[in-house]
Amino acid sequence: MWILGLNAYHGDASACLVRDGVLVAAAEEERFRRVKHWAGFPSEAVRACLAGEGIGIEQVDYAALNRDPSANLFRKALFTLTRRPSLALVRDRLRNRLRIADVRSRIGEHFGPGFRGEVVNVEHHRAHLASAFFVSPFERAAVASVDGFGDFVSTMVGRGEGRMIGVHDRVFFPHSLGLFYLAVTQHLGFPKYGDEYKVMGLAAYGEPEFLDKMRRIVRLEGGGRFRLDLDFFIHHKGGVSMTWEEGPPEMGPVYSDALARLLGPPRGKDEPIDDRHRNVAASAQAMYEEAFFHVLNRLHDRTKEKNLALAGGCAMNSVANGKIYGRTPFERIYVQAAAGDAGGAIGAAFHVWHDVLGKPRSFVMNRADLGPQYANGTIGTVIEKRQGELAAAGCRIEEIGDEAVLLARAAAAISAGKVVGWFQGRMEWGPRALGHRSIVCDPRRSDMKDILNLKIKRRESFRPFAPSILREAVPEYFEADDDVPFMLQVYKIRPEKRPLIPAVTHVDGTGRLQTVTDEANGRYYRLIREFGRRTGIPLVLNTSFNENEPVVNRPEEALDCFLRTKMDVLVLGDTWVDE
């Protein structure tokens, strides 16, 4: 039984394949199109998933999409009658609905007439809940999806047990914590789709002096609910331009002039960041956490579950995720690698397997290497084609077939302060590089952030770099002892360890943790272990293998990034390249 999961006509378009209840392939369209957060129909991701499993579209039994235009029709009609949104807003929603309803035609357009399976539409937040719970290690758990909007809902909570998920409550359009955070992100001069993580990083440098004003924007209500004061927004009136079709997603400003009067003038995109901007960011993060934990604590009161499975775009707020144990009674949490909209493809597919087909659970996602892979022979062919270019750049190329020798060389380079591109195995699923498409550096160097930003990343100086640490060493270095395989929780680094690893210690003493195991991470685990053997530090700095673009997918893209930046070493499978 083959189920094709899809996130289409929205940011972070993606596809996955589930075979007999096991996730065997997953990829985001941006990695193939080379456009961040690419929106549209994920044809190349579908193609890669099918090719990776050696099947054709005619073998797919179900195509599951994480959108259902028929969901919440009464609420939509009521909103239209009472709020009278602009014709432009209504027209945009109808156009998107028609695209979603035409998925079968788009499959045929890209893959021919062979698809005879059934198309299943899954309500957006139900897909999010499924993406978190059905691949979690929990037999039962509280489940929560917190997002911008999808199918007229921004937040959905409930309880999962076995192959069933029961929904307890929803928060409907136009009220949304994701929309609130987006508004502040835009106000702070970060206009691109997905820029919210910049505000999260900036928040650590400020003080929440605007928190009382934020509480005027987001108002907490009984039952774990919340409302936005709509005077500060324009999204409900239809004044927001959105582009979700075959290219980069774009969204116009969602906040009104009232928000600018409340928080001060919006920051220009190239305007220097000052203390007010830092304090607005800190206040927005504090307000989000206040509302987030308001939702989660009521969910715990209702379910009495000790486990929490979390999804939705807001589940990418790793700072808040790292505070769940301290600010709620939950004892264990699970956030899968692509918690945002890309992950809805997985949720839609597993909804079909468990809810539609009634099949039992048998899969846990504890690793993210689900994308394309390139054998040493393929890498060798790429290198051969680029020999002239590499020679002109003064590069030395060496094939190292002995893994122990390769790891020793790489660990020695890292410990000597070199910037190493690490390209191994299957591409990761989700926004984080987790040791398969990573740039790896020495966490002990206080100047490594500056070196990376100068040589490669060219990004804002306030953004932190993350540690990848051997799982068994976590309690020695962090004030936590948790499995965090997908780098989606931030925890405090122990004070005595912070001076030892300044490159991965944020200004507030935290690190965005990735726990690494031999079972899930293989060669990357052994690289970190070798680095630890040499230095006494069982962790490395890990950042994504890219330069203001999507994370590299193919060896050609890794070579391009290596050659146009000042990276010192590139390790492609067993091939060593340096200058």
Q: How far apart are CA 415 and CA 417, in angstroms?
A: 5
Residue 418 DSSP one-character state: -
Structure tokens, 265: 């003038």
Q: What is the pLDDT of residue 225?
A: 97
Structure tokens, 234: 């324009």
**Residue 74 above 80 pLDDT?**
no
Q: What is the pLDDT of residue 90?
A: 55
Is the fold of 2-74+82-133+340-356 the same as that of 171-335? yes
Task: Map out the domains of the chain as residue ranges.
Answer: 2-74+82-133+340-356, 171-335, 376-578
Q: Which architecture, in CATH terms, is 376-578? A: Alpha-Beta Complex (3.90)
**Residue 388 above 80 pLDDT?**
yes
How much is the average pLDDT of 127-153?
97
**Residue 97 above 60 pLDDT?**
no
Q: How far apart are CA 190 and CA 181, in angstroms?
A: 11
**Residue 321 above 80 pLDDT?**
yes
**Residue 58 above 80 pLDDT?**
yes
Lowest mean pLDDT among 247-256, 503-512, 524-533, 534-543: 247-256
Query: Radius of gyration (Cα) for the chain, nearest Å?
Result: 23
**Residue 165 above 60 pLDDT?**
yes
- 171-335 to CATH, choices 3.40.50.300, 3.30.420.40, 3.10.100.10, 3.30.70.330: 3.30.420.40
Per-residue burial over 80-97, b = 16 or more CB atoms within 10 Å of its CB, e = otherwise: eeeeebeeebeebbeebe
Q: Which architecture, in CATH terms, is 2-74+82-133+340-356? A: 2-Layer Sandwich (3.30)
* Nearest alpha carbon to residue 539 among 565, 506, 514: 514
Alpha carbon 5 to chain centroid distance? 17
Q: How far apart are CA 420 and CA 35, in angstroms?
A: 24
* Nearest alpha carbon to residue 455 among 510, 193, 194, 445: 445
Residues 6+ apart with CB under 8 A from 189: 266, 267, 268, 269, 270, 271, 277
Q: What is the pLDDT of residue 571?
A: 98
Helices (H) and strands (E) in the chain, counts: 22, 23
Instruction: Please check whether residue 490 is in contact with residue 467, taking contact to mean a CB–CB distance below 8 angstroms.
Output: no
End-to-end CA distance of the chain: 49
3-class SS letters over 88-121: HHHHHHHHHHHHHHCHHHHHHHHHCCCCCCEEEE
> Given 3-state DSSP classes, what are the helix, strand and coil percentages for the chain, each rounded to the nearest 5?
40, 20, 35
Q: How far apart are CA 195 and CA 189, in angstroms?
A: 10
Condensed to tens digits (0 to 9), the pLDDT of residues 360-387 reads 999 999 999 999 999 999 999 999 999 9
- Looking up tokens 């390249």 gives 577
Q: What percent of the chain has pLDDT over 70?
A: 96
Phi, psi (degrees; rounded to nearest 5) at 349: -65, -45
For β-strands 14-19 and 218-221, DSSP reports them as unpaired
Q: How far apart are CA 408 and CA 402, in angstroms?
A: 10
More reliable by pLDDT, 220 or 245: 220
Residues 6+ apart with CB under 8 A from 143: 129, 132, 133, 157, 158, 159, 160, 165, 308, 309, 310, 311
Which residue type sits at 379? I
Q: How far apart are CA 121 and CA 5, in angstroms?
A: 10
Instruction: Using pLDDT thresholds of 50, 70 and 90, give the confidence band for residue 413.
Output: very high
Q: How far apart are CA 123 and CA 521, in angstroms?
A: 33
Instruction: Using pLDDT thresholds of 50, 70 and 90, give the confidence band for residue 98.
Output: low
Q: How far apart are CA 275 and CA 207, in angstroms?
A: 9
**Residue 86 above 70 pLDDT?**
no
Q: What is the pLDDT of residue 73?
A: 77
